Amino acid sequence: MHDPHSTTLPPRRLLPRTLALLAVLLASIVLAVGLGSVFIPPAEVLGALWRGVLSLGSGAELSGNDIIVWQIRLPRVVMGLVVGACLSVCGAAFQGVFRNPLADPYLLGVASGGALGATVGIVAGWPRSSIPLSALAFALAAVGTTLALSREGRRFPPTRLILAGVVVGSVLSAFTTFLILRGEDRARQVLAYTLGDLGFSGWRDVLTILPYAVIGCGVLMALARALDTLQLGDLTARSLGVPVERLRLLVVIAASAATAAAVAYVGIIGFVGLVVPHLVRLVWGAGHRVLLPVSALAGAALLVLADLLSRTTILSQVGVVTTLLGGPFFLWLLARGRSD
């Protein structure tokens, strides 16, 4: 019998590539923290990070560039790391559980549902700490609607799934636009939100979404072995003791929670969950025990670099950058699927 775990690279090839990815991730953090209206050299960035860590224990006051690093740039970078990791892990999990290479939080309507929930909270003036809960409720409703519309018996055919997700996402986006027009005094904030923006991120926001992100992604990674077995088909997975329907429900809930956390404060950032898992499969293999954590690292690095590009060029919104990168990639996937 085919072993689904054999799709992962052997350790002697896995380790160097993972270390290289970690180096890229660390470099992207230093670069993103150092570049801005005030340039801070990499050595000084590392020094500021170290002094900030020491001050947490000693209570010492920060000064000079240390304040820029810890109070202005680092919260934005950390938010990018969390959001990029969440979207990438959720995309890989959705693609695995539905066995559909085009599935991701953006295309299944989950991100649009979360964005609508957050927009409702922003326009209504709800406390900022309640935004993730509102986003989660709407994200779950959106993915539930997508699954109900696309279901054929116990199956979720890829084409119907994507079409249903696009329709649900479009309808929810229309509601979001309506709310933007209604809430004129908050229009700029909400418009920036719908285009995807890390610029409003603070430490309080990061700490608010972190539990949702950690629990959601942690559950998905704990299900990696079951997701690998599911790639052999529903019948085989059931014969090997995998409760397929319960697994799908658990993955959908966990991924929706993590996606809602990701979009709660930064808005819709499309295609990260689609692009990153595919790139990771090409380099590291398709086994979910490696795919999910490596996607988290790669997605974090990608979003930090995309945000850096957005704030140092005329593109201005990180969601615009990821869409410009992900749109052509999506078309390439469609073309490759047709040729196969």
DSSP per-residue string spanning 24-69? HHHHHHHHHHH-SSS---HHHHHHHHHHHHHHHHH-PPP-THHHII
Task: Give yes or no for a contact between 124 and 233, defined as CB atoms under 8 angstroms apart.
Answer: no
Residue 338: per-residue pLDDT: 57
The residue to which tokens 């003791």 are assigned: 241
The residue to which tokens 């499309």 are assigned: 270
Task: Give yes or no for a contact between 232 and 86, defined as CB atoms under 8 angstroms apart.
Answer: no
Cα gap 106→112, rounded to integer Å = 7
Question: Mean pLDDT in each 10-residue stretch from start to end of the chain (340 residues)?
Answer: 54 88 95 90 91 77 84 92 94 88 77 83 80 83 86 74 84 83 65 73 88 93 93 88 87 87 81 89 90 96 92 82 82 67
Q: Could you tell me the CA-to-CA distances from 291 to 88, 216, 311 in Å, in that order?
A: 10, 16, 30
Fold assignment, 38-53+61-325 = ABC transporter involved in vitamin B12 uptake, BtuC (1.10.3470)
Give the residue extent of every domain in the chain. 38-53+61-325
269: which 2 tokens? Answer: 């950032």
Residue 158: per-residue pLDDT: 66
What angle, 0 to 180 degrees and rounded to 10, lies between the N-to-C axes of helices 288-312 and 272-284?
130
Cα gap 188→113, rounded to integer Å = 20
* Residue 134, number of CB atoms within 10 A of its CB: 21
| Burial environment of residue 83 by CB neighbours within 10 A (0 to 12, 13 to 18, 19 or more) | buried
The whole-model pTM stands at 0.85
Residues whose CB is less than 8 angstroms from the CB of residue 84 and which lie 6 or more positions away in sequence, other chains included: 272, 276, 299, 300, 301, 302, 303, 304
Please name which of 68, 29, 108 lies closest in space to residue 300, comparing C-alpha atoms: 29
Task: Give yes or no for a contact between 209 and 260, defined as CB atoms under 8 angstroms apart.
Answer: no
| Burial environment of residue 220 by CB neighbours within 10 A (0 to 12, 13 to 18, 19 or more) | buried
* Residue 152, number of CB atoms within 10 A of its CB: 9
Residue 286: per-residue pLDDT: 87
Residue 7: per-residue pLDDT: 62
Bridge partners for 8 per DSSP:
285
Phi–psi pair at 121, nearest 5 degrees: -65, -40
Please name which of 76, 142, 141 lies closest in space to residue 106, comparing C-alpha atoms: 142
Residue 153: per-residue pLDDT: 75
Residue 337: per-residue pLDDT: 61
Cα gap 224→37, rounded to integer Å = 43
Residue 187: per-residue pLDDT: 62
